[in-house]
Copies of this chain bind each other. A is one copy, B any other.
Amino acid sequence: MPSSIPDIVISRLPVYLRALERLSQEGQEVTSSHELGKRLGISSAQIRKDLSHFGGFGKQGTGYRIAYLREQLRQVLNVERDWEVALIGAGDLGNAVARYRGFSNRGFHIACVFDSAPDKVGKSIGEFLILPLDNLHTVITERGIKIAMVAVPAEAAQSVADTLIAAGVRAILNYAPINLNVPDNVHVQYIDPVIHLQRMTYYLD
A residues touching B (Cβ–Cβ < 8 Å)?
A: 10-11, 13-15, 17-19, 22, 38-41, 76-79, 83, 85, 92-93, 95-97, 99-103, 106, 108, 146-147, 149, 154, 170-171, 173, 177-179, 181, 187, 189-204
Contact = CB atoms under 8 A, between A and B. Distances in A.
A73 to B, nearest CB: 9
A162 to B, nearest CB: 15
A77 B146 CA distance: 36
Contacts of A102: 93, 177, 192-194
25 contacts: A13-B198, A14-B195, A15-B195, A18-B177, A18-B179, A18-B194, A38-B181, A39-B181, A40-B179, A77-B199, A85-B197, A92-B99, A93-B102, A96-B96, A100-B193, A106-B194, A108-B194, A108-B197, A147-B197, A147-B204, A173-B193, A173-B200, A187-B203, A191-B193, A191-B196
